[in-house]
Amino acid sequence: MKEKYNCDPKDIICVIGPTIRKCHFEVKQDVRDIFYKEFNYMKNINDIIKFNEKTKSYFIDTVEINKNLLREEGILEENIVDSKVCTVCNSNIIHSYRKEGEKAGRNTAIICLQ
Ligand SMILES: [Zn+2]
């Protein structure tokens, strides 16, 4: 949007819709390593990737990663609106591949420029 439409990041409002959240995005070492390699420069990486001693796996906060990426682009904190909806926790009203597997439906969003 900055390049194509010459938008000032301070004028952009971002919404983080329903998605799998850190409460359910649990992964094994291989996936953790991919995320760590890409995002270890982030100051709060130790809050983003948490080891679960009990299951020997990791919980990853992809929402926080996306918020960091938005901040890096100059989006104002007050213009990052988070729905705070986890698709797994709310799979009774929103599809979740992780919860429903192959039978899961798909979620969509409609976005337009004014
Ligand atoms: Zn959840």
Query: In 3-state terms, what secondary structure has residue 4?
Result: helix
Q: Which pair of structure tokens corresponds to residue 21?
A: 């959240």
* Domains of the chain, residue spans: 2-103
pTM of the model: 0.90
- Is the domain spanning 2-103 CATH 3.60.140.10? The answer is yes
- CA of 91 from ligand 1 middle (Å) equals 9
pLDDT at site 60 = 98
Write out pLDDT tens, residues 80-114: 999 999 999 999 999 999 999 999 999 998 888 77
- CA of 90 from ligand 1 middle (Å) equals 7
Report the pLDDT averaged over residues 70-79: 98
Report the pLDDT averaged over residues 26-45: 98
Residues 33, 59: Cα–Cα separation, whole Å: 12
- CA of 59 from ligand 1 middle (Å) equals 11
- CA of 62 from ligand 1 middle (Å) equals 12
- CA of 85 from ligand 1 middle (Å) equals 8
pLDDT at site 39 = 98
The bridge status of strand 26-27 relative to strand 57-60 is: antiparallel
pLDDT at residue 43 is higher than 80: yes
pLDDT at residue 44 is higher than 90: yes
pLDDT at site 112 = 84
DSSP 66-102: HHHHHHHTT--GGGEEE---BTTTTTTTS--HHHHGG
- CA of 20 from ligand 1 middle (Å) equals 6
